[in-house]
Structure 1
Amino acid sequence: MLERCKSAQERWGGVHEIIDRWLLQRRQLIEALVTIKGLGEYTPTDTPKIQRLCEMLVDYVSVGHFGVYEQLALEAKDFNDTGALALFKKLMPEIESTTEVAIEFNDKYDTKEHCNAQLEELPFSIQTVSVVMAERFGFEDQLIERLHHAHSEKTA
């Protein structure tokens, strides 16, 4: 029994680190969004900041889909948590729709040429992606709360 508990700690303790790094990425993404929103009128000199935001957005979304969500689902399966798995299945389509908005934003502003050609639309695009990402963060927080924190006590 002690061996099983130790194994669970080793296995799921790393999930804490993944989530912590991901949440740090989230904070940095929010700070970048706030900074860009605060620029006011956008000019071509703002393009590098906007391109950096695109990179951060795609990185954040990718880590979620190809790291965090997989780990959370695996953890729920290992703990045979059917309620958590049902929540996962319910929220993933919502999260995936926000991914589409993030990718569309990236495709629209990822290069200097794309960005400079659409600077007039940027305030609307920034507002849209900010609202959508805030919704996504809420969905992700539900997943973390239900799929991970509920199991943390069992691995401690």
Structure 2
Amino acid sequence: MLTKLEKAEKRWGGANKLVDQWLNHRRKLLIQYFIVAGLAPYSRAEKSLPTLEQVKNFCDQLVDYVSEGHFEVYNNVVKACEKFGESSIDTAKALLPQISDSTDAALDFNDKYTEAADEEILYQLDNDLSKLAQAMEARFELEDQLLEVLYNRHS
């Protein structure tokens, strides 16, 4: 996922301040994911679970990222596409509902772990992180398609 992010940053970085900020937030989210999942280069010395607090911090970043997309970035991209014709707006509007599927997965993950009072829930974390990673990877690909439409047709 980080390799794809680096490609996105090279492709669209510097084109728009909001997009730069959004890609930077994606990077921070991915780093936090690797920390919580205990993946290299953020592996824990001994195989142990993260703290519930670490997972809740990850959830905060996850919700911030998802919200930023829906309430800031997507609206601006769709508005930009509207200026350039029906095919652009149709493409953008076709991608947004697909992105929403991953929003549900992110919010479900957030609800499960931010409402948890008992650390026993962390035994389910690996499985839940795996499902979330699949949903978020699909989301990142769709978001990148949205940016590519804007970049290819309007740069």
TM-score by structure 2 length? 0.80
Aligned residues: 135
What value does the CA root-mean-square deviation take over the aligned residues?
1.9
Check the 8 A contact 1:51/1:112 in 2, yes or no: no
Structure possessing the higher relative contact order (Cα contacts under 8 Å, 6 or more residues apart): 1
Q: Does 1:61 align with 2:70?
A: no
Q: Aligned ranges for residues 2-81 of structure 1 at < 5 Å? A: 16-38=16-38, 39=44, 40-42=47-49, 46-80=51-85
**Cα offset for 1:111?**
4.3
Distance 1:28 1:149, change over 3 A: farther
Provide structure 1 residue ranges, at least 5 long, that are not aligned to the other structure.
1-13
- TM-fit CA distance, 1:41: 3.3
Output the CA distance in 2 between the equivalents of 1:149 and 1:18. 18
The answer for unaligned runs of 5 or more in structure 2 is 1-13, 39-43
CA shift in 2, pair 1:54/1:72, >3 Å: same
- In the alignment, which of 125, 134, 142 is matched to residue 128 of structure 2? 125
Question: Structure 1 CA distance, aligned partners of 2:72 and 2:129?
Answer: 26
Q: Radius of gyration: which is bigger?
A: 1
Which stretches of structure 1, 4 residues or longer, exceed 3 Å deviation after superposition?
none
Change (3 A) 1:67 1:148: farther
TM-score (norm: length of structure 1): 0.79
Alignment-derived partner of residue 140 in structure 1: 143
